[in-house]
Amino acid sequence: MWSKVADFIGKHQLLSSDGLHIVALSGGADSVALLMVLRRLGYRLEAAHCNFHLRGEESDRDETFVCQLCDAQNIPIHRAHFDTKAYAALHKVSIEMAARELRYRYFEQLRQDLGADTICVAHHRDDAVETLLMNLINGTGIHGLTGIRPKNGAIVRPLLGVSRLEIETFLHSIGQTFVTDSTNAVDDVLRNKIRLNLIPLMQQILPKSSENIARTADYIKEVEAVYEDAIQSERAQIVRSLQPAVGTWDQGGAETVGIADLLSLPSSECFLFEWLRPFGFTSAQILKIADSLESPSGKTFSSATHVLYIDRSELMVASVCQSPSPLVIPEDGLYNYQGNTKFRITSLNDIAISKSDVCVTIDKEKVELPLTVRTIQSGDRFTPFGMNGSKLVSDYLTDRKVSLWAKRSQLVVTDARGHILWLVGHRIDHHFRITSATTAVLRIELLS
């Protein structure tokens, strides 16, 4: 046991010999074995115990046991008490998720307070197998088939190389007692069902099934490294970043992928999964997106935080943002719109006509103040400069090949009657153009 754990720590470079390490100590066999092995290997340790008050007297029994164990081993212990049910209700999460969030938040704060290097948790090989099977049952990609990682930031798992049976045999051999969580013996949640029913059945079929699954997970970790390298290479080749266009409010950047480029990849679905998963899209949504690549322009898919557009020959993903409030401009001056966008309004007697996309001149006498800067709305119409008939703003932008993402944030300037004076960054309305009869000019400038 000593040598297997020591070899695993060395292989994955989990612990420094001169650092301070916190052991998450529940009192169960796994965490007790972790504490005893690391102490025997000579690491400088302190323990941390969380009482979640979920099992009545049993929770208090566990706390008493770990305090007595640490006192006997001369190891400092830190304790925290949580009202887990109240936290779960407040944050609308499951009891299991509430306990996890409270536990790891406390461990990290304690690590920082003590200046410790790591938080050692007692997940072992069987836990990794259970996690892999849970992911497989629920549906997963390649990352979910690698089980539990030996290291995740400051969290390290020195016992991942040994089984539950090895742990219990080790504790018996040194005469070390531990406590048992009675809820682990009830097959009421998926992990317990797998642990109590599925894994024993697998071991009846093949005694080394868990060991073989764990070995397969290690192989998949190696495949995952190759896979990640390929995905990153493809990302660099086909993903483009877009910044807000002139005449739009700054809703943040977007990413776009050409559909033809996507379909040229060895596996477009794999790439879509890796590209879109961080934006909150589910596996089911990504499959629908993959099936919709030939759909007409305009189809959208939404996650909690992002929206994906199928826009002509591209897929475009951007953050979900609320449109900003309109900006009212009562008179000449410099006006701030959404932080880094400004509009300057100036009245002039000079009849010179601006030909810039970011500065327009219109006939002031035809304008009724105040002006308003706002995003476009459904049904907005204007008569583009040089045309006689009116046109839907959305149709005009479509004709100009403006993306759906840019349309969403397109700005217009209107007068008090709601007439569009300027489709910002594009055209003024023909009715407000400067003519030979113009005697006063209103200049509107977009400053970024």
> pLDDT exceeding 70 applies to what percent of the chain?
100
What is the DSSP-derived secondary structure letter of residue 197? I
The answer to whether domain 327-447 has CATH 3.40.50.170 is no
Q: Where are the domains of the chain?
A: 2-223, 243-319, 327-447
Residue 183 has pLDDT above 90, yes or no: no
pLDDT tens digits, 153-165:
999 999 999 999 9
Residue 321 has what pLDDT? 85
Buried b (16+ CB within 10 A) or exposed e, 134-144: bbeeeeeebbe
Q: Which amino acid is at 335?
A: Y
Residue of higher predicted confidence among 340 and 327: 327
Residue 119 has what pLDDT? 98
Residue 81 has what pLDDT? 96
**Residue 31: Cβ within 10 Å count:** 25
Q: Which amino acid is at 37?
A: V
Confidence (pTM): 0.70
What is the DSSP-derived secondary structure letter of residue 182? G
Domain 2-223 shares a fold with domain 327-447: no
Which burial class, exposed, middle or buried, applies to 344 when counting CB atoms under 10 A from its CB (0-12, 13-18, 19+)?
middle
The answer to whether domain 2-223 has CATH 3.40.50.300 is no
Residue 448 has pLDDT above 80, yes or no: no
pLDDT tens digits, 248-267:
888 888 999 999 999 999 99
Q: Which amino acid is at 437?
A: A
Residue 33 has pLDDT above 80, yes or no: yes
